[in-house]
A and B are shown apart, each in its own frame.
Chain A
Amino acid sequence: MIALVMFLLLMVGKNFGMSANLRTMCTICGADRSSDFFRFDWKAQRWNLVVVLGAIIGGFLGSYYLSTETVVDINPQVVENLSSLGFESAGKAYLPTELFANSVLTDWKSLAVLAIGGLLVGFGARYAGGCTSGHAISGLSDLQVPSLIAVIGFFIGGLVMIHFIFPYIF
Chain B
Amino acid sequence: MRTIIYFLIGIIFGIRMFKSEAASWFRIYEMFQFKAFHTYGIIGSALVVGVVIVQLIKKFQIKSFYGESIIFHPKARSTPRYLFGGIIFGLGWALAGACPGPMFTLVGARYPSILVVIVFAILGTFIYGLLRKVLPH
Task: Say yes or no: B81 contacts A129, CB within 8 Å.
Answer: yes
Nearest CB in chain B: distance from A163 CB, A: 8
Task: Say yes or no: B100 contacts A21, CB within 8 Å.
Answer: yes
- Residues of chain B in range 80-104 having any CB-CB distance to chain A below 8 Å: 81-101, 103-104
* Contact among A1, A18, A26, A53 with B46 in the assembled complex (CB-CB below 8 Å): A1
Residues of B whose CB lies within 8 Å of any CB of A are 2-3, 5-21, 23-33, 35-36, 42-43, 45-47, 49-51, 53-54, 57, 64-66, 68, 70, 72-79, 81-101, 103-114, 116-130, 132, 135
Count the A residues whose beta carbon is within 8 Å of the partner chain — how many? 118
Task: Say yes or no: A18 contacts B100, CB within 8 Å.
Answer: yes
Residues of chain B lying within 8 A (CB to CB) of residue A3: 45-47, 49-50, 53
18 further contact pairs, Cβ within 8 A, besides A118-B118, A137-B46? A5-B9, A6-B50, A6-B53, A8-B5, A12-B6, A13-B64, A57-B7, A64-B110, A74-B29, A78-B33, A90-B26, A118-B103, A118-B116, A119-B127, A124-B87, A128-B86, A150-B86, A158-B94
* Contact among A37, A54, A122 with B6 in the assembled complex (CB-CB below 8 Å): A54
Nearest CB in chain A to that of B25: its residue: A95
Task: Say yes or no: B10 contacts A54, CB within 8 Å.
Answer: yes
Nearest CB in chain A: distance from B82 CB, A: 4
Given A121-B96, A157-B88, A162-B94, verify A150-B18 contact (CB < 8 Å).
no
Given A114-B120, A115-B120, verify A102-B112 contact (CB < 8 Å).
yes
Some 28 contacts from A to B, beta carbons below 8 A apart, are: A2-B42, A6-B50, A12-B65, A13-B66, A14-B6, A19-B99, A19-B100, A21-B100, A50-B7, A54-B10, A59-B17, A63-B18, A74-B29, A78-B33, A95-B111, A114-B113, A115-B120, A121-B89, A127-B135, A128-B88, A133-B101, A136-B43, A137-B43, A151-B86, A156-B90, A157-B90, A160-B91, A161-B32
